[in-house]
Structure 1
Amino acid sequence: MKFKRADRIEVVDMSSGFFGLFYDVNIMSRVGRRLTSFNFVPCLMLEADHSGFLREFVTTDKISPNPTDVLVTDFVLGQKVDDFANDGWWVGRIASKIGETEYLVRFDSTNQDIIYPFANIRVHQDWDVANDVWVHTRN
């Protein structure tokens, strides 16, 4: 899939301690064939010296279009999900339902269980680069 300036995409962060974290970003420019620069969306992250919004570079194998919306009314125990927190989407699994609108989400990468509202959780999907489609993951 070809991306162009201003496209809204997701970038995976594979840094230590951030495995399974996806950021919603805007493409700023292409730098060669395999490198893309981007700004975070929303642009809340500033450079350390506060000189401007954070701009980073990433290889194209770390980007994908934003996932398609999957409408659900409930999540099931053990279901792989993404949870929006701290400016990004974190991959976890539903550990339990709490009340009518909250879920306990288990994050294997950090061994944490955190409660989130339904509105902050989406169905996890994987990007199939070969076929340019989003694939629902099996639990």
Structure 2
Amino acid sequence: MGFSKGDAVEVNSKQEGFVGSYYEATVLMPYEKNKYVVQYKTLITDDEKYWLKEVVDASEIRPTPPPKVMVSGFNHHDFVDVYDNDGWWVGRITGRSPTHYSVYFDSTSEELSYPVSKVRVHQEWINGRWFTPQ
């Protein structure tokens, strides 16, 4: 799938310490073959003056997931995305209280608690279609 200037996307970080995270961005322009210049919506430059821009490979970009998939609740081991540290991180549900979910992250071997409002259904972009892992 190709992207066009202005497309809302999420960029999957391949950097050590950030694997398993997705950051919201806008495509500024195609760059070279299979690369794009993107501007992040939540990440800023080191001098904290501008939104971060970078060239990323097409394999690291996916469209913004469809609007929130409605669920009545998550079950133990369900895959979810959690909004933390300016991006969405993939994890698995390990517990629940009335207002929070406990989530385990394979990428960091951590289990943390998040308010329900910071948790969404995890979806994978495969061959141009969205899938919800079981």
What interval of TM-score do these two structures reach, taking the shorter chain for normalisation? over 0.9
CA distance in 2, matches of 1:14, 1:32: 19
1:108 aligns with 2:93: no
Q: In structure 1, what residue type is equivalent to 2:96?
A: K
CA distance in 2, matches of 1:50, 1:85: 19
Q: In structure 1, what residue type is equivalent to 2:57?
A: T
Give 1:80 shift.
0.6
Which 5+ residue runs of structure 2 have no aligned equivalent? Answer: none
The answer (yes or no) to whether the contact 2:41–2:51 under 8 Å persists in 1 is: no
**Which structure 2 residues correspond to residues 28-67 of structure 1 after superposition, within 5 A?**
28-42=28-42, 45-67=43-65
Aligned residue number for residue 90 of structure 1: 89
TM-score (norm 2): 0.93
TM-score (norm 1): 0.89
Which 5+ residue runs of structure 1 have no aligned equivalent? Answer: none
1:135 aligns with 2:119: no
| Per-residue CA distance 1:36-93 (angstroms, 9 max, x = gap) | 0111114xx3322345321111011111101123111211011010000111000000
Would you identify which runs of 4 or more consecutive aligned residues in structure 1 move more than 4 Å? none
Using the aligned pairs only, state the percent identity.
34
